[in-house]
């Protein structure tokens, strides 16, 4: 199923041409995503003991968006790392509590400008730069 999801994400028309039922897999992805969101919402409601219309206001929505974008869209470890950092960051910088959204905006701008893949993309590029380049037989004697 994961390979089909990857194929559809890369090129939907090509996936359809090789015989993947694109509509079925899109429906499965939607169902899987909403099921996970439903479980998460149920756990959240159980933990908080109250859910109201103001449970997720503008600030919470921007915070969650910042976590996903800064972590790297499509990277679970990157989003988890960004969520950890952005959860602890206001505690470290209590003196700018009123400017939390401004700080998130600056972080979002910086990430989208300098590292569009988020923290995950930045980590991948740093790892690829540090990995040694294999030498060929010709270059080994130099």
In a domain, 106, yes or no: yes
Residue whose token pair is 């559809």 = 8
Q: Please indicate, yes or no, if residue 107 is contained in any of the structural domains.
A: yes
Range of the domain at 91: 56-131
Domain presence at residue 13: yes
| 67, 41: one domain | no
Across 116-140, average pLDDT:
74
Give the phi and the psi of residue 3 in degrees, each rounded to 5: -65, -40
Which ranges in 22-131 belong to alpha helices (H)?
Answer: 22-48, 58-71, 76-92, 100-114, 118-130
> Residue 14: inside a domain, yes or no?
yes
Number of domains the chain contains: 2
pLDDT tens, position by position, 72-87: 887 888 899 999 988 8
Measured on CA atoms in the order 7, 19, 37, 65, is the torsion positive or negative? positive
- Check whether residue 127 and residue 72 sit in a common domain: yes
pLDDT digits (tens, 9 = 90+) for 41-56: 899 899 988 888 877 7
């Amino acid at each position: 199923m994961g390979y089909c999801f990857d194929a559809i994400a890369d090129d939907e028309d090509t996936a359809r041409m090789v015989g993947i039922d694109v509509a079925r897999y899109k429906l499965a992805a939607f169902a899987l995503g909403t099921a996970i969101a439903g479980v998460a919402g149920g756990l959240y409601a159980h933990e908080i003991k109250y859910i109201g219309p103001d449970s997720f206001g503008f600030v919470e929505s921007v915070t969650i968006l910042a976590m996903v974008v800064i972590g790297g869209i499509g990277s679970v470890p990157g989003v988890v790392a960004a969520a950890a950092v952005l959860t602890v960051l206001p505690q470290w910088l209590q003196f700018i509590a009123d400017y939390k959204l401004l700080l998130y905006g600056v972080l979002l701008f910086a990430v989208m400008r300098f590292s569009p893949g988020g923290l995950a993309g930045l980590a991948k590029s740093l790892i690829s730069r540090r990995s040694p380049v294999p030498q060929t037989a010709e270059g080994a004697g130099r």
